Amino acid sequence: MEETRNPTFAEVQAFFNAEYAFIKKWLAVKEPSWDEVLAESRDLENKHGYKDEDGNYHPFRYCLDRIVSTVELIERLYMEKKQAENNLKSYMEGSNNNVKD
């Protein structure tokens, strides 16, 4: 059976700080590079875990779940923002067609 352990308070705090910076960075980007988002999410995964007695690395399950949720959140908010921009553009184009010279 695989050995697991829960993160310490300090490890959770470090993860939350890193997760916050990750979210803040990618929400500020107008057109995110999804390859970069995923690469940075893997970096988060690789930095927030532990090594067992044999030196094998194990990411914390909680951190993995949070990383997946965070990437999903960034993607969802991006898609909602894109949809709102498209709706506004369509509305403005429709309004301009109704204006008479």
The range of the structural domain enclosing residue 84 comes to 9-94
Would 16 be classed as within a structural domain?
Answer: yes
1 inside domain: no
SS3 (DSSP) at 1:
coil
CA–CA dist 69, 8 (Å, integer): 21
Count of domains for the chain = 1
Per residue of the chain (101 residues), what is the pLDDT tens digit? 455 788 999 999 999 999 999 999 999 998 999 999 999 999 999 999 888 888 888 889 889 999 999 999 999 999 999 999 999 988 888 876 665 55
Query: Would you say residue 77 lies in a domain?
Result: yes
> pLDDT at position 98, please?
61
Give the span between the Cα atoms of 101 and 96, in whole angstroms.
10
